[in-house]
Chains A and B, each alone.
Chain A
Amino acid sequence: AQTVTQSQPEMSVQEAETVTLSCTYDTSESDYYLFWYKQPPSRQMILVIRQEAYKQQNATENRFSVNFQKAAKSFSLKISDSQLGDAAMYFCASWGGDSNYQLIWGAGTKLIIKP
């Protein structure tokens, strides 16, 4: 069964510094998609970045980038120039399960930004 693992329950970073959140996954499929979502205290789950497995180039979105290591099945999220508004729960997710509609979620990492 496909799994997604986030091994860091909580991370903290000084404002303006860089932080990396880790995510590993396990899949037997050759074509898959990976996502990072952010959920601030306001509750809305917001897409941060996505990666297609067939693309070798790492995805970037402004201050957010991923380090996608396909052979190692690793999909870490790097946040540069951390801002107070980045404080949130971060979830890594991938399509998986027995159906085509189910996202498999990691347990989440709580990111704290120190002013």
Chain B
Amino acid sequence: DTEVTQTPKHLVMGMTNKKSLKCEQHMGHRAMYWYKQKAKKPPELMFVYSYEKLSINESVPSRFSPECPNSSLLNLHLHALQPEDSALYLCASSLTGGRSNQPQHFGDGTRLSIL
């Protein structure tokens, strides 16, 4: 059973739509992450929130907008996406941000398709 829950599992949207991806964890983790993953490739880091503050934005286009309403929730707002944005979007959390032996725990991901 995954301890990081992502919804929806699948999302198909047009390039003019606005949608949101949601991620929730109740492990008391204080760092949360969004990744983008293309088929058969490793995940690419997009955003990191540490103690509910945006710590990293890896030069992600503004059509992706993250939000961390509280320590358990992480959203990714999508607007005017391009076909190349079609991918698996993974959410992860870790006990604390930063280098340690604490691993990141991942959700099942949202498979996003842009028409």
Contact = CB atoms under 8 A, between A and B. Distances in A.
A105 B50 CA distance: 21
B99 A95 contact: yes
Nearest to B94: A101
B98 A47 contact: no
Q: Is the interface of A mostly helix, strand, loop or mixed?
A: strand
Nearest to B104: A103
A45 B45 CA distance: 14
B107 interface: yes
Given A33-B101, A101-B50, A101-B55, A46 B106 contact: yes
Q: Is the interface on chain A under 10, 10 to 19, 20 to 34, or 35 or more residues?
A: 20 to 34
A107 B88 contact: no
Contact of B103 (A50, A99, A105, A110): A50
B85 to A, nearest CB: 18
Interface of A: 32-33, 35, 42-47, 50, 52, 89, 91, 93, 95, 99-103, 105-108, 110
Given A43-B109, A99-B55, 10 more contacts: A43-B111, A44-B107, A50-B103, A52-B101, A99-B56, A100-B98, A101-B48, A102-B45, A105-B43, A108-B42
